[in-house]
Amino acid sequence: MSDETVSRRVRVGVIGVGKMGLSHLAIVRALTHVELVGVVDSTDYLLDVLSKYTGAATFSTIEKMIETARPEAIVIATPTGSHASLVRTALEHGIHVFCEKPLTLSSTESRDLARLAAERGLVAQVGYHNRFIATFQEVKRLLDDNVLGRVTHALAEAYGPVVLKAKGSTWRSKRATGGGCLYDYAAHPLDLVHWYLGAPQGVRGSVLNSIFSADTDDEVYATLDYADGLSVQLSVNWSDESYRKMSTSITISGTRGRIIADRQELRVYLRDDAEIPEGYRAGWNIFYTTDLTEQVSFYLRGEEYSAQLESFIAAVHAGETEARQNGFSSAAHTDLVIEQIMRDAAGETVAAPITALPTTAPKRGMFGRRKSA
């Protein structure tokens, strides 16, 4: 690699400076090989503050930023209902895209965007940050190594205190803009299930229940069916005040043991007849995220947020033509399962099996292993 390639900086724009957008903006400004060339938002006051205190170039539309700042890559962190048009505009201009999850509110639209990104040879990644959490990555490694034997059942959960009263709704709790608990919360464990187990054959027993929201669901329950009797129970509630913040967890049972994982801890039970991997033993094994996580270049909210953007920028900087993880095709599949849950909850007939979308195999080596002592 030439000195020019090593020193080259990727020109990046950020669209949306709400809670997640500000986090992404801070990380982008801190990453090596990145030049922030513009920020887009619909709120003039925010743009004035950013311009005054950071010196960043600000724009009111994506078109103005593209025309003036000419970014190579764009980070999109706007309400979900706006994703489709923003992503399409960027891709049609030959710009790499990192988009917050879920990709869109339509699996057909998500699939079309995945195809467009592939046709243009662009890195297109969605912000399912759990795939960059070391405990969840270790689960993936163990499953790939068949440590549990035949997987028979899984429980995918997410709980948190987002909507706790009837008043004061936001774009997240409106079906047309955020998609409610199903799209905003359940998408996370569903993405992990897809990563671990692939596409289900069908969906049944789905319940979308409103607790406080007038326009959408606050809790989601469903069963995903797979071949060989494997089933996955989905349990999600974003109106749970017993949690201080969002908590996502996964429990996977197999013929040779059991895995329980969340962001903080990984617990693995292995039977005596299991093939015990290095660093494990028969019986219970407990690891904490600090035992597994490798250091990132910039820490904000959690190492996973920097890690996912580092992966995106690294792919763009290296001239690669697809995301190393969390590509659009994978995200489109999650959107498809979400739609199947909606249809099943409404009493509609859900065709089975659910058609699997093409996905890119995750690259090994960057994450998902225990750090060196």
Domain-located, residue 312: no
Tens of pLDDT, residues 303-330: 899 999 999 999 999 999 999 999 999 9
The whole-chain average pLDDT of the chain stands at 89
Residue 86 in contact with residue 26, Cβ under 8 Å?
Answer: no
Asked if the peptide bond before residue 79 counts as cis, ω within 30 degrees of 0, the response is: no
**Nearest alpha-carbon partner for 250 in 194, 181, 308:** 194
Q: Are residues 138 and 215 in the same domain?
A: yes
Q: Other CB atoms closer than 10 Å to residue 144's CB: what's the count?
A: 12
Other CB atoms within 10 A of residue 348 CB: 10
End-of-domain residue from the set 101, 129, 157: 129
Asked which of 141-145, 223-227, 360-364 is least confident by mean pLDDT, the reply is 360-364
Residue-number span of the structural domain to which 188 is assigned:
130-298+328-345
Read off the pLDDT of each residue in 94-100 and give the average, rounded to a whole number.
98
56 phi/psi in degrees, rounded to 5: -70, 145
Residue 361 has pLDDT above 70, yes or no: no
Say if residue 63 is in the same domain as residue 193.
no
Q: Do 43 and 93 reside in the same domain of the chain? A: yes
Among 80, 108, 129, the domain boundary falls at 129
pTM greater than the 0.75 cutoff: yes
Does some domain include residue 76? yes
CATH code of residue 124: 3.40.50.720
For residue 177, give the CATH number of its domain: 3.30.360.10
Residue 172 sits in the same domain as residue 294? yes
User: Per-residue pLDDT for 24 more than 60?
Assistant: yes
pLDDT tier at 178 (50, 70, 90 boundaries)? low
Collapsing DSSP to helix, strand or coil, 184 comes out as helix
Instruction: Read off the pLDDT of residues 113-136 as tens digits, 9 standing for 90 and up.
Output: 999 999 999 999 999 999 999 999
- Which has the closest alpha carbon to 199: 176, 180, 224, 177? 224
Position 46 scores a pLDDT of 87
- Among 23-27, 155-159, 251-255, 299-303, which stretch is predicted with the lowest mean pLDDT? 299-303
Percent of the chain, pLDDT > 90? 75
Residue 223 has pLDDT above 60, yes or no: yes
User: For residue 286, what pLDDT is reported?
Assistant: 97
Verify that 181 and 269 share a domain, yes or no: yes
Please give the pLDDT value at position 214.
Answer: 84
Residues 138, 255: one domain? yes
Total tally of structural domains belonging to the chain: 2
Do 113 and 235 share a domain, yes or no? Answer: no
Please determine, for residue 370, whether its predicted confidence score (pLDDT) is greater than 50: no
Among 56-65, 297-306, 343-352, the minimum mean pLDDT is found in: 297-306
Least confident stretch, 5-9, 152-156, 241-245: 5-9
Give CA separation, 75 vs 62, 142, 254, 297, 313, in Å.
Answer: 11, 32, 39, 19, 10
How confident is the model at residue 303, as a pLDDT? Answer: 87
Tokens of 315: 């792919």
Q: Do 77 and 174 fall within a single domain?
A: no
80 and 164 co-located in one domain: no
**Is 286 found in the same domain as 161?**
yes
Residues 29 and 176 in one domain: no
Q: Residue 3 above 60 pLDDT?
A: no
Domain assignment of residue 352, yes or no: no
**The last residue of a domain, from among 98, 129, 160:** 129
84 domain-assigned: yes
pLDDT score of 270 more than 80: yes
The predicted structure's pLDDT at residue 179: 81
Percentage, residues of the chain above pLDDT 70: 87
Query: Do 138 and 282 reside in the same domain of the chain?
Result: yes
pLDDT class for 294, splitting at 50, 70, 90? confident
**Would the pLDDT of 185 be above 90?**
yes
